[in-house]
Amino acid sequence: MQDGTDRLRRKGRTIAFVPTMGYLHEGHLSLIREGEKHGDHVVLSIFVNPTQFGPEEDLDAYPRSIENDLALAEKEGVDTVFLPNEKDLYPERYETYVSQETLPNHLCGLNRPIHFRGVATVVTKLFNIVKPHVAVFGQKDYQQLLVIKQMVRDLNFGIEIIGAPTLRESDGLAMSSRNANLPAHLRPSARSLSQSMHHAQDLLHRGETDAHVIIQETSDYISSHPETDIDYVSLCDPNTLVDVDSILPQTLMALAVKVGGVRLIDSMILTQ
């Protein structure tokens, strides 16, 4: 992979990179299409990264379908697919990790303390291997996008980071590989995440600016649906992820909820 991208760079090709954990869906395909706008050689990686999963999390249950992924990548015109295995990226006696001081101490990082260390580490390694000019990430994983942008600034990577909009199913559910693990009868419960954010925006338009009131109404609405277990409902500064007491001109609403044991996340920028 490194030799191949070195050759591409010597030829003056612009490399656009889309890192994924596979089980591709339309959301991933939109990232590939965004990459095609910014580069003339698109590299897609597929790797379920073990270092971002805690011991009680769903590493083994994470959906995988490599044959389908490769077919979709070919159909979308991906130029190169990079398929490392765990021993490629984490050989024996591996001990180096990338961590950050503040951004991981919010939202998902509160209950997943090793998650963003694993994300930052694997993305650093992928950047060093693929050597892209541009990398594309989805805005659905808003905190991850901030972490990667901060890492690129702090460590002087010469890479432009593109945040692509969240794609949604026809019923409003944010597209995610984990949606494949949702039982059909819990689909309305999963849909409550996006519905609750639209309700929060309506509250704001009606003049409610107290973050605690909006969080309580959002939590009550989600909890009224079967088999929902709220990890967090947060209203925070979209740049620092620090919680706010009163709504800013632009405020990030971020949610993490287990629905029937499947952990879903979603987010939206609320505007006054």
pLDDT of residue 210: 98
Question: Pairing state of beta strands 80-82 and 134-138?
Answer: unpaired
pLDDT of residue 57: 96
pLDDT of residue 197: 98
Q: Give 3-state DSSP helix, strand, coil % of the chain, rounded to 5.
A: 40, 20, 35
Q: How far apart (Å, rounded) are the C-alpha atoms in residues 190 and 239?
A: 27
Instruction: Confirm if 221 and 213 have CB atoms less than 8 A apart.
Output: no
Q: Does the predicted TM-score (pTM) go above 0.75?
A: yes
Instruction: Confirm if 116 and 109 have CB atoms less than 8 A apart.
Output: yes
Question: Pairing state of beta strands 262-271 and 250-259?
Answer: antiparallel
pLDDT of residue 107: 98
CA distances 162 to 31, 146, 154, 211, 241, Å, are: 9, 11, 17, 29, 19
pLDDT of residue 272: 85
Task: Tell me the three state secondary structure of residue 81.
Answer: strand
Per-residue pLDDT of the chain (272 residues; tens, 9 = 90+): 999 999 999 999 999 999 999 999 999 999 999 999 999 999 999 999 999 999 999 999 999 999 999 999 999 999 999 999 999 999 999 999 999 999 999 999 999 999 999 999 999 999 999 999 999 999 999 999 999 999 999 999 999 999 999 999 999 999 999 999 999 999 999 999 999 999 999 999 999 999 999 999 999 999 999 999 999 999 999 999 999 999 999 999 999 999 999 999 999 999 98
Which residues are catalytically annotated? 28
